Amino acid sequence: MTEISPVSPVPGSARAPNPPAPRADRLITSDFNTFLRMLTTQLKNQDPLNPMDNSEYAVQLATFSGVEQQVRTNTLLESLGAQLGVSGLATYAGWVGKDARADMPVWYSGSPVTLAATADQNADSAELVVTNAAGLVVARQPVLPGADTATWTGLDPLGAPMPTGRYTFALESFAQGARIATTPAEAYARVIEARGGATPTLVFTGGIAVEAQKVTALRGG
């Protein structure tokens, strides 16, 4: 049987970068110059017996000038937003190495997990519900209704450590045996990276990424 060799790509064909898109402010300047030339040509070639009303020229100029100013304003706002994003990133970079609290999954690797969870005010009992990455409930732990924190040891009912992985937590509130509310339990985790952009993001142990604005508490690592 004859072996067929793969087709070699044309050198440089897959690596040729796309030409950069022209900036909006450059486009509007070019178009404005073109508009002025067209307007001048229109003035030169108009019917001298039926000339265009001057007010029509003024309207055209005002309309195009308004568009030009709007484009420049948008460019300025984009630049300002980028500068604010860099400034915000500098702030969040100081969070690296600290423990931040948010409604997020936690990477469990053998250490107890501290959670912020408050039962419904009408509850007479509450349970911390632990769910693994596959969406299966793997543990339930009673919590005092008046407590505002809970600690999950990571042990199964037989006292053996749960497998390393990602877990999420919720607090179920009960009144006379009936469940009346389910709320997320916020977890503390170590910040290992801060990412900038339109929405600054924090990366926690295990690669869990959360928007910085969702953090509700911070403590020294």
The CATH number linked to 185 is 2.60.40.4070
User: Is 148 found in the same domain as 71?
Assistant: no
Q: How would DSSP label each residue in the chain?
A: -PPPPPPPPPTTTTTPPPPPPPPHHHHHHHHHHHHHHHHHHHHHTS-TTSPPPHHHHHHHHHHHHHHHHHHHHHHHHHHHHHHHHHHHHHHHHTTTTSEEEESS-EEESSS-EEEE----TT-SEEEEEEEETTS-EEEEEEE-TT-SEEEE--B-TTSPBPPSEEEEEEEEEEETTEEEEEEE-EEEEEEEEEE-SSS-EEEETTTEEEEGGG--EEE--
pTM of the model: 0.57
Residue 155: the pLDDT is 87
Least confident piece of the model among 21-35, 56-70, 117-131, 193-207: 21-35
Residue 104: pLDDT above 90? yes
With respect to residue 4, please indicate whether it lies within any of the assigned structural domains: no
User: Is 82 found in the same domain as 147?
Assistant: no
Residue 83: pLDDT above 60? no
User: Is 210 found in the same domain as 172?
Assistant: yes
Q: What is the mean pLDDT of residues 99-116?
A: 91
User: Is 159 found in the same domain as 82?
Assistant: no
Q: What is the mean pLDDT of residues 58-83?
A: 63
Rounded distance, CA 120 to CA 180, Å? 8
pLDDT range class, residue 202, cuts 50, 70, 90:
very high
Q: What is the mean pLDDT of residues 138-147?
A: 90
CB 120 within 8 A of CB 178: no
Domain that holds residue 87: 24-42+53-93
CB 166 within 8 A of CB 210: no
Rounded distance, CA 4 to CA 23, Å? 47
